[in-house]
Amino acid sequence: MNLQETLENIQPLDAKMIEIAKKRWSSIAHPLHSLGLFEDVLVEIAGMTGRQEMDFQKKALVAMCADNGVVEEGVTQTGQEVTALVAENFLKTEAAASILCRECGADIYPVDIGMVVDTPVPRYKTSYGTKNIAKEPAMTREEAIHALEVGILMAEKLSKKGYRMLATGEMGIGNTTTSSAVASVLLEKSVELMTGRGAGLSGEGLQKKITVIEKAIALHQPDKNDAIDVLAKVGGFDIAGMAGVCLGAAALHTPVVIDGVISGVAALVAARICPTCADYMIASHVSSEPASQLILDALGKKAFLHAEMHWGEGTGAVTLFPLLDMAATLYNTMSTFQEIDLEAYQQYT
């Protein structure tokens, strides 16, 4: 599907199936709503998939890998060579996200959507890195749409392979700079409020990063009402690719677990392109990056994990997978009040 076809296929959640799932939880022999958000999310997943049975044993993390020209401005501790190194480690199960995927029985699909070098990582390049946003727009509008459609394509490919739940992750040195820029524009918040230290900048480094972002926004004047314009002018290919996964997953009635602040910015871009697609997103955790909670609030999402994580790669999203699996097992297999001849709890408000 291209972008327009994808948007046309995104539908509201199945209200009838939501009611069926709510009744299933109410019938299970347990204190009502005692699993809290886990009960809520399974009800939402029933609405996403149109199925009462919880079947997402086959799960995958899509890790979008891309480089960002703004690294030229000295806004990071490391160089772009680290992007390729970690991306290759996804394939060798030596990166954090791939190790976590192995441990919880999920698969990982790294995607070269815009690294400056070629590696064994499957190539779906939009270009060899973005431009330096301090000097020129990150990409053209056509490139932004292409990167979105790479994400849509990945969602389609994995759906055809039988994956029932996806997660978004990334690797790209400099992407806390681009994500802060996009978030600042879309949420109409100050750059200083939306920008954190990323992978450990000093106080001086943080101030330089803020100044670079402010300069880029002032130079390019991205239109806050046009998420693709914002993406093209101050974003990154990895953000665009993850946004495409969110859109593609929604069109295919597939839940997508969003990771931390960079993945959250991608989710925000997707939601600004098509608000309904936010209904298909699950927030894994609140990153310790400053913008994280503000992004989740804008998406109307409650995170499950509050552990001050900010590793990236998709690590937070994958960490949620086993908890969702356990909740699904209870939903699918526990006896009802009627089956064990126990008087049901009454719901009081």
Type of residue numbered 326:
M
CATH class, 59-327 region:
alpha beta
* pLDDT bucket at 171, cuts 50 / 70 / 90: very high
Closest among 81, 38, 16 to 321, alpha carbons compared = 38
pLDDT at 233: 98
Given a cut of 60, is residue 85 above it in pLDDT? Answer: yes
Q: Which residues contact 236 (CB under 8 A, 6 or more apart)?
A: 66, 68, 114, 130, 138, 172, 174, 175, 178, 179
Rounded average pLDDT over 129-138: 98
pLDDT at 288: 84
Distance from first CA to last CA of the chain, Å, rounded? Answer: 45
DSSP state of 207: H
pLDDT at 10: 98
DSSP track, 154-203: HHHHHHHTT--EEEEEEE-TTHHHHHHHHHHHHHT--HHHH---TTT--H
Q: Specify the DSSP element, H or E, that contains 283.
A: strand 281-283
Average pLDDT over the chain, rounded to an integer: 94
Quote the CA–CA distance of 186 and 221 in Å, as a whole number.
Answer: 12
- Report pLDDT digits (tens) over 100-118: 999 999 999 999 999 999 9
Rounded average pLDDT over 107-135: 98
Contact status, residue 243 vs residue 266, Cβ threshold 8 Å: yes
pLDDT at 349: 60
pLDDT at 338: 80
If DSSP codes are grouped into helix, strand and coil, which group holds residue 258?
strand
Which token pair is 349? 């408000």
- Read off the pTM: 0.96
Rounded average pLDDT over 162-191: 96
Given a cut of 60, is residue 259 above it in pLDDT? Answer: yes
Type of residue numbered 283:
A
Q: Which of 59-68, 130-139, 190-199 is predicted least confidently?
A: 190-199
pLDDT at 207: 82
- DSSP H helices, the chain, are 3-9, 15-27, 37-49, 81-91, 96-104, 141-160, 175-187, 191-194, 203-220, 227-234, 237-251, 261-273, 292-299, 315-333
Exactly one of 44, 313, 339, 343 is catalytic; which is it? 313
Phi, psi (rounded to 5 degrees) for 258:
-95, 145
pLDDT at 290: 82
Note if 308 is an active site residue.
no
- Report pLDDT digits (tens) over 17-68: 999 999 999 999 888 899 999 999 999 999 999 999 999 999 999 999 999 9
Quote the CA–CA distance of 44 and 55 in Å, as a whole number.
Answer: 13
- Report pLDDT digits (tens) over 323-332: 999 999 999 9
Given a cut of 70, is residue 201 above it in pLDDT? Answer: no
Closest among 284, 288, 289, 252 to 267, alpha carbons compared = 284
